[in-house]
């Protein structure tokens, strides 16, 4: 394996420093590393940087890692995205996989597993941390046992296009205020859409909405 050109994307410098140190110290890897602290910067750099791998944080203040991964995956088929998160929520794992990520690792892993993930993804294979795999296996096992087939991607169900848009943002941890700002609508309009979503889907809270979105392939 030759030299790997890697882009680290995280809005916390201390995280980027730790990953860089682990990769540069590894005896298994020969790396050239650039850094970005926003999703927008990552997308722009990926267009000209010729990166083999982008290690992508999910929760960032401007463009989140899911949207950035979509843009990078569409713009450069050769570049592999390795998702990086503190969390192992099912909806985030599935959202990153659907966006085009080749793997998903947790920030709690050690240097050895980090290097293993980078090597695996660089070969065109997929890599998921053990905790992430448990979530994925449990997700599909529940679907099989409960006999709840997935809805096709061309979803035409109870929800309007705007409601689906808001549901996706809720699933990605946006607050009502942040949704209103992003969609250029009033917060009370978001509140109304949220109530309509719960009424239509028959759920009682945000967790129920996220479960509905996952079951219907909306995120």
Determine the Cα–Cα distance for residues 195 and 182; give it in Å rounded to an integer. Answer: 19
Determine the Cα–Cα distance for residues 137 and 135; give it in Å rounded to an integer. Answer: 6
pLDDT digits (tens, 9 = 90+) for 59-87: 887 899 999 999 999 988 899 999 999 88
Of 93-102, 105-114, 119-128, 129-138, the poorest mean pLDDT is in 129-138
* pLDDT exceeds cutoff 70 at 9: yes
The pLDDT assigned to 131 comes to 81
pLDDT digits (tens, 9 = 90+) for 24-66: 999 999 999 999 999 999 999 999 989 999 999 998 878 999 9
Strand partners, 198: none
**What domains, with CATH codes, occur in the chain?**
4-129 (3.40.50.2300), 139-219 (1.10.10.10)
Reported as type and span, the H/E element at residue 203 is none
Determine the Cα–Cα distance for residues 111 and 209; give it in Å rounded to an integer. Answer: 36
* pLDDT exceeds cutoff 60 at 145: no
Determine the Cα–Cα distance for residues 164 and 179; give it in Å rounded to an integer. Answer: 12
Q: The pTM is what?
A: 0.65
For residue 104, give Cα distances in angstroms to 48, 93, 131, 144.
24, 7, 10, 23
């Amino acid at each position: 394996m030759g030299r790997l050109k890697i882009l680290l994307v995280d809005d916390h410098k201390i995280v980027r420093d730790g990953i860089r140190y682990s990769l540069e110290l590894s005896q298994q890897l020969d790396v050239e590393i650039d850094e970005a602290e926003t999703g927008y910067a990552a997308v722009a750099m990926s267009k000209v940087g010729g990166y083999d791998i982008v290690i992508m944080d999910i929760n960032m203040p401007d463009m989140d890692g899911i949207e950035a991964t979509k843009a990078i995956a569409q713009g450069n088929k050769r570049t592999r995205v390795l998702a990086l998160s503190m969390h192992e929520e099912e909806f985030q794992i599935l959202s990153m996989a659907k966006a085009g990520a080749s793997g998903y690792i947790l920030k709690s892993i050690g240097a050895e597993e980090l290097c293993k993930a980078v090597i695996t993804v660089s070969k065109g294979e997929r890599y998921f941390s053990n905790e992430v795999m448990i979530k994925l296996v449990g997700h599909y096992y529940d679907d099989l046992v409960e006999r709840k087939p997935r809805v096709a991607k061309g979803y035409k169900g109870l929800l309007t296009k705007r409601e689906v848009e808001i549901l996706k943002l809720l699933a990605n941890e946006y607050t009502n205020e942040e949704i209103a700002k992003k969609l250029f609508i009033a917060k009370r309009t978001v509140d109304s859409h949220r109530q309509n979503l719960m009424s239509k889907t028959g759920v009682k809270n945000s967790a129920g909405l996220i479960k509905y979105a996952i079951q219907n392939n909306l995120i």
